Amino acid sequence: MSRIPPMDRRAKLEHQVAIVTGGGRGIGRAIALRLAAEGAAVTVAGTGGDHLQATAEDIHARGGRALVSITDVADEPRVERMVAATLDQFGRIDILVNNAGVTGPTAPVTSVSLEDWERTLAVNLSGAFLCAKHALPHLIRQRSGRIVNITSVAGQMGYALRAPYAASKWGMIGLTRTLALEAGEHGITVNAVAPGPVAGERMTRVIERRAAELGRSAEEVTNAYLEPTALKRMAEPEDVAATVLFLVSGEARSITGETVTVSSGFRV
């Protein structure tokens, strides 16, 4: 007969320190709050100061520790300062969640400007690269750590009218697998989470722009996102946050180089 282990109600991330980019709204905010609820001190980073401050205040109100870092992840000196500020404030880094991203243009490739293409890849892909580049030396030195990259189901399929976004998310999966190989010998895991349509302000804007480009109603476009899902509904930011929590916990210590889809069963 197998032995059932006793329940352990200790915080899963006690004494750990996390950086969550894009931590002011939506998925990033949900991740920051969930990690803090499990005992982690959290640096919430991004460009929206008011939203970041609101997230940090919510963490403080619940008895947690948080630091706000105004950081454009596509700017390497600012990323370096974000990492340094986290170390100055909390003394270590254990978790990096690369969530910061922009939606990019909604248009056919023939209408996408080079500026929009480059900015989308700079934030979504180069930003994750830069954050990993500057956090990894500290994780390697302590021979432990977790990196989670928030990609998208757009990185697993073709996505008409969203070429820069899709390319950046495909690239993030490749970056995840490569970092996992490089960091594994140091006791560091690197995984990706690929959300499908996630309810919230960002998805509302995506639907509105797609409807305008296609000459359809927002309701029609919404249904087009819901129909390929098994559950016939969008995921919630908290669903993604719960998956991230699992991947950064000790329970996922043997999972690395993987992409976990959180999409209500989205298939095309």
Name the pairing type of β-strands 17-21 and 41-46: parallel
Give pTM, 2 decimals.
0.94
Residues in Cβ contact with 251 at an 8 Å cutoff, skipping those fewer than 6 apart: none
Domains with residue ranges and CATH for the chain: 17-196+237-262 (3.40.50.720)
Specify the pLDDT at position 268: 74
- Nearest Cα residue to 117 out of 165, 164, 160: 164
Reported as a single tens digit per residue, the pLDDT across 55-106 is 999 999 999 999 999 999 999 999 999 999 999 999 999 999 999 999 999 9
Beta bridge partners of 44: 20, 68
Backbone region of residue 232 per phi and psi (left: phi > 0; alpha: psi in -120 to 50; beta: other values) = left
Catalytic residue positions, numbered: 165
Structure tokens at 44: 């919430």
Specify the pLDDT at position 9: 55
- Give the C-alpha separation, 244 to 230, whole Å: 22
Q: Are the CB atoms for 146 and 95 separated by under 8 Å? A: yes
Q: In the 3-class helix/strand/coil scheme, how is the chain assigned residue by residue?
A: CCCCCCCCCCCCCCCCEEEEECCCCHHHHHHHHHHHHCCCEEEEEECCHHHHHHHHHHHHHCCCCEEEEECCCCCHHHHHHHHHHHHHHHCCCCEEEECCCCCCCCCCHHHCCHHHHHHHHHHHHHHHHHHHHHHHHHHHHHCCEEEEEECCHHHHCCCCCCHHHHHHHHHHHHHHHHHHHHHHHHCEEEEEEEECCECCHHHHHHHHHHHHHHCCCHHHHHHHHHCCCCCCCCECHHHHHHHHHHHHCHHHCCCCCCEEEECCCCCC
Neighbouring C-alpha atoms within 13 Å toward the C-beta of 16: 24
Q: Give me the residues of the chain with pLDDT under 50, please.
A: 1-8
Structure tokens at 249: 């916990």
CA triple 179-100-262, angle to 5 deg: 75
Q: Are the CB atoms for 258 and 179 separated by under 8 Å? A: no
Buried b (16+ CB within 10 A) or exposed e, 29-46: bbbbbbbbbbebbbbbbb
